[in-house]
């Protein structure tokens, strides 16, 4: 949280990012000291997520967009557990030695901070050969409400929020540097750049769902994490899925940051109520079964879908 | 905390790192879910620190040494506030696509985790063009004990722990790849690679000191942070400083991770008692005064010391 003059740059650029949300987040000391100090009312959740240039986003993306997206992606893990977001911590490695880029980056942090009314507890700034952003996120939740990956039960119904495949289309629009966009294309681009995190919905959901995950690596991969951790299988119906674009990309490419969750059939009525309250689109896509792995059915027949998603360690 | 098969690698390599310390740290859910869950008894401290290859450490350094040092440096901020260490979070960007390097890295995390009896709450693993390690650290403290940088008072005495300049010599031994080392050289190398963090001492110190900082950027730079934040000046005596090697390097190069703190003269007797109890060497090096900046006196005369330390943004 320091390093000679880096400290001054950080202080100037990163200070007052969401300071007005200190009280509501029980943050007692923010950036500037060796560490930030905060209080907890409930149990606390922590997660960290690193985004690297040209791995997780195009490196020529505008700094403030890189910042916003990195925050959203990290914060998505808090929603996936059912928590409320308490604070962010920013670790930025930049390739630029001037502070302009960092200032633009801080605008993205500010935008996120203001949208979700969340303070920044502190950060770290270094110069390296590639842009790398590590965001730490802290949330609050009661222990009994924490939605785990291992909580799925046989017979649970499987749901997803929103649409699948939008972020993949958005990323391609970004890569093509297309200028004049149709409204739906703007929507896809937005899903990639500024995925909305459903904090209030997922806090209500946490009282109903048995398991939940955010879709960062494609529905099939992430649902498989739930299956593996819960030692169960899943059967999903292609026709029931809210797919946009090519179904392979929609199901195996990540970046959508929608939620996939399972719950008891008896709780479906309540689920639709809270989805309506929070104006979140949900789709029932399948069922949790005994066994292992995921079966995808199309018109009643099992089909095989080859993974199109990115894999860091074999990619 | 996931990303397709990365998740499996992480799970395999990083799981069980300090799981035996979950209970003592009130950690309820560790790596493997979307986020970790923990409880707090006191107030909480959070800090994050990023180490980049060839900026903060030689990039050909053994992976487990990179890992250990990154943890120590990050955790040092918790000691600088007077807190006890609660958990670590690991964000690793590696340039290696195989898992051998990551496995070796995890050994360094394990060693740190075992030495300080602290669990790992979770992490993130990505592949990039350079090695980058972001460590998040969480500590616990009572609010009233938190040692701030802005707490120095006029007339406070200034102290440092240990010696200054050892890590600089250690880094040079490392760079020269010297094989046969004298005991004191081994000690210097160790100070660079595995700086000991004085958690128990600093917890006692937090009841006495008015301000504290860990020396990551050289004594003069870090003491200046205390002066700036406290809106006061400092006068230090060269001859009183526990310097090893060239005094310019010792005072302006960082990496020592000793503590610099200020306290009321009436508390010095108590200070020496706790230093003795915890077997920590301390040296009184100067006084907090009215004004701005730091004056270094040698044999009663003011001298000027040019900064030798590294500066990310002007370097």
Task: Provide DSSP, B76-93.
Answer: HHHHHHTPEEEEEEEEEE
| Distance (Å, whole) CA A222 – CA B206 | 45
Contact list, A126 vs chain B (CB under 8 Å) = 50-52, 55-56, 312
Does the distance separating the beta carbons of B35 and A40 come in below 8 Å? Answer: no
A141-145, A283-287, B142-146, B304-308: which has the minimum mean pLDDT? B304-308
Q: pLDDT at position B8, please?
A: 63
Say whether B78 and A44 touch across the interface (CB within 8 A). no
Q: What is the pLDDT along chain A (315 residues), one digit of tens a residue?
A: 334 455 566 556 666 778 888 888 788 888 777 788 888 888 999 999 998 988 888 888 999 999 999 999 999 999 999 999 999 999 999 887 667 888 899 999 999 999 999 999 988 888 888 899 999 999 999 999 999 999 999 999 999 999 999 999 999 999 998 889 999 999 999 999 999 999 999 999 999 999 999 999 899 999 999 999 999 999 999 999 999 999 999 999 889 999 999 999 999 999 999 999 999 999 999 999 999 999 999 999 999 887 654 444 433
User: What is the rounded distance in angstroms from the CA atom of residue B149 to the CA atom of residue B293?
Assistant: 14
Instruction: Count CA atoms closer than 13 A to A33's CA, side-chain side.
Output: 24
CA A43 to chain centre: 21
**Residue B9: band (very low, low, confident or very high) from pLDDT cuts 50, 70, 90:** low
- Confidence class of residue B314 from pLDDT cuts 50, 70 and 90? very low
- Which residue among A47, A80, A89 sits closest to B36, beta carbon to beta carbon? A47
What Cα–Cα distance (Å) separates residue A228 from each residue in A56, B19, B32, B163, B167?
Answer: 25, 21, 11, 52, 46
Mean pLDDT of the region B24-53: 86
Percentage of chain B modeled with pLDDT above 70: 91
- Contact check, Cβ <8 Å, A80/B28: no
Q: How far apart are CA B283 and CA B238, in angstroms?
A: 12
Q: Where are the beta strands (DSSP E) in chain A?
A: 27-29, 36-38, 43-52, 84-94, 120-127, 132-141, 157-161, 211-214, 233-237, 259-263, 282-289, 293-298, 301-303
| A29 Cβ neighbours under 8 A, 6+ residues apart | A35, A36, A37, B146, B148
Average pLDDT over residues B251-263: 95
- pLDDT score at B40: 87
In angstroms, the separation between the Cα of residue A270 and the nearest Cα of chain B is: 24
Tokens of B20: 């035996």
| Domains of chain A (ranges, CATH numbers) | 4-144 (3.30.1330.10), 148-303 (3.90.650.10)
Which pLDDT does position B11 carry in this prediction? Answer: 58
Q: What is the pLDDT at residue B73?
A: 95
pLDDT score recorded for residue B97: 67
Average the pLDDT over each of A39-48, B225-234, B242-251 and give the range with the smallest value: A39-48
Statement: residue B93 has pLDDT above 60: yes
Of all residues in chain A, the one with the smallest CA distance to B313 is A97
Helix runs in chain B, H state only: 4-14, 63-81, 100-116, 166-175, 183-193, 199-205, 219-230, 247-252, 268-277
pLDDT band, very low/low/confident/very high, at B147 (cuts 50, 70, 90): very high
At B29 the pLDDT is: 83
Is the complex ipTM more than 0.95?
Answer: no
> Which among B205, B229, B143 is positioned nearest to A37, based on CA atoms?
B143
Helix/strand/coil for A104: helix
Chain B residue with minimum CA distance to A80? B34
């Amino acid at each position: 949280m320091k390093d000679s003059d880096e400290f001054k740059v950080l202080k100037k650029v990163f200070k007052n990012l969401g300071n007005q949300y200190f009280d509501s987040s029980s943050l007692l000391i923010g950036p500037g000291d060796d560490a930030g100090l905060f209080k907890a009312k409930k149990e606390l959740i922590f997660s960290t997520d690193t985004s690297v240039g040209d791995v997780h986003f195009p490196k020529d993306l505008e700094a403030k967009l890189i910042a916003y997206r990195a925050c959203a992606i990290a914060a998505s893990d808090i929603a996936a557990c059912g928590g409320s977001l308490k604070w962010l911590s920013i670790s930025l490695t930049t390739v630029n030695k001037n502070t302009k880029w960092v200032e633009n980056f801080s605008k993205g942090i500010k935008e996120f901070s203001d949208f979700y009314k969340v303070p920044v507890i502190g950060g770290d700034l270094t110069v390296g050969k590639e842009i790398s952003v590590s965001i730490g996120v802290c949330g609050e939740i009661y222990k009994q409400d924490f939605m785990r990956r291992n909580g799925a039960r046989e017979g649970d119904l499987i749901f997803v929020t929103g649409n699948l495949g939008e972020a993949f289309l958005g990323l391609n629009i970004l890569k093509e540097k297309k200028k004049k966009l149709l409204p739906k294309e703007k929507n896809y681009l937005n899903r990639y750049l500024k995925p909305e995190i459903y904090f209030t919905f997922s806090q209500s959901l946490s009282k109903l769902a048995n398991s939940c995950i955010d879709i960062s690596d494609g529905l099939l991969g992430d649902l498989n994490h739930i299956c593996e951790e819960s030692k169960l299988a899943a059967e999903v119906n292609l026709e029931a899925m809210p797919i946009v674009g090519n179904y392979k990309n929609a199901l195996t490419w990540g970046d959508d940051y929608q939620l996939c969750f399972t719950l008891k059939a008896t709780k479906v009525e309540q689920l639709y109520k809270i989805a309506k309250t929070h104006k979140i689109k949900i789709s029932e896509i399948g069922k949790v079964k005994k066994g292992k792995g995921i079966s995808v059915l199309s018109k009643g027949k099992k089909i095989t879908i080859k993974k199109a998603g990115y894999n860091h360690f074999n990619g």
